[in-house]
Amino acid sequence: MHPLRPDLTERLWECRSLDIRVWVRETQLPLPPLPVYIPRVQPRQGFESPKCQALAVPIERITGSRRVLTAGEMKGILGAPPDTMLIVTSFHLDNILELLWGKRRELVKAVSGAGYDLVTVPDFSLWDGDTRLEHRYNIARSLRMFELLVEAGVPTLLNVSWYLPQRDIDDWASFLRGWPGSRAFSIDLATLNRKRDWAWGIRGLRRLFEQIGEDWEVLVNGVALKERIAEVSRICGHVHLINERPFQLAMSRHMTVDELCTSRTQPTPRAQMDIFAVEAQKMKAAVPVPPGSCRLRAAVGVPLIAS
């Protein structure tokens, strides 16, 4: 977002401010008791989800051409039992998030009556080469989406993103230390594939928790390697993990990543549900569960006073 673009004033106005702050006087609803691992799935023909405590679905999969699918309808499509916790995630490609932003008020209104247990806010990208104005604009847009969801009575949580640790992380830390709502937020680490990018993300995460303490629940998106899961857990303490690894392996009918990536290896003849269940259990076992975890079960609604 260049400072000379003609619609700059309009785009800044819709975000109200580029500071990390929240304006909402509604009550943040209690968050559900999240399990340590939540597999994300895509509605696909022929795929039927095995019984899980919770499942996540991408937000673009619930938004049809005419209306938003309800949680009950989505469970029927996935073949999930009625008591399954269903979470809508917004960690997706920029073109999808931009479409959601353009119709954000209509979308939030529709989602508010759809019966989902939790809806995450969009994680707008902070890319190398973008201006600092663009970085703070995208952070602010996530905060505005959080406000809209809270005002509509949708269970949600903050999303923390940063580009400059010395500025963005420190601003987040200052904000979170005085946060009166649920002590929980989400982070998206799915794009940190290269080692140097991962190291950058870990430095920022460590800097944040050095300032806010470990008394937080963190919904982590996109991490699948065991060593990386362990590293994030050591920093954050109480982690809830979301990724699509079991679904991807099940749809490819492969039991391991090696089988998926190596054409010479024959697929293991297992049913999709077996593959999904086995891999989901592996992911669950990879997430350390510290004493006192799942404190979100006791969370209560807290009025969020405009700051």
Query: Considering the domain 26-288, what is its CATH architecture?
Result: Alpha-Beta Barrel (3.20)
Domain ranges of the chain: 26-288
Q: Read off the amino acid at residue 175.
A: F
Report pLDDT for 254. 58
Exposed/middle/buried for 42, CB within 10 Å: 0-12, 13-18, 19+?
A: middle
Distance CA 87, CA 262 (A): 33
Q: How far is CA 66 from CA 38, 63, 74, 99, 262, in A?
A: 28, 8, 15, 15, 41
Q: Which residues in the chain come in under a pLDDT of 70?
A: 1-11, 13, 25-27, 46, 65, 253-270, 291-307
Find the distance separating the first CA and the last CA of the chain, reported in whole Å.
27
Report pLDDT for 2. 53
Exposed/middle/buried for 280, CB within 10 Å: 0-12, 13-18, 19+?
A: buried
Report pLDDT for 303. 45
Global pTM value:
0.86
Distance CA 118, CA 32 (A): 7
Q: Give, for 182, the enclosing helix (H) or strand (E).
A: none
Instruction: Work out the angle at residue 200's Cα, subtended by the Cα atoms of residues 181 and 194, and round it to the nearest 5 degrees.
Output: 120
Beta strands in the chain (DSSP E): 27-28, 37-39, 54-58, 85-89, 118-119, 158-159, 184-188, 217-221, 238-243, 302-303
Give per-residue pLDDT as tens, 59-103.
Answer: 999 987 678 999 999 999 998 999 999 999 999 888 888 888 889
Give per-residue pLDDT as tens, 236-259.
Answer: 989 999 999 999 888 876 555 555
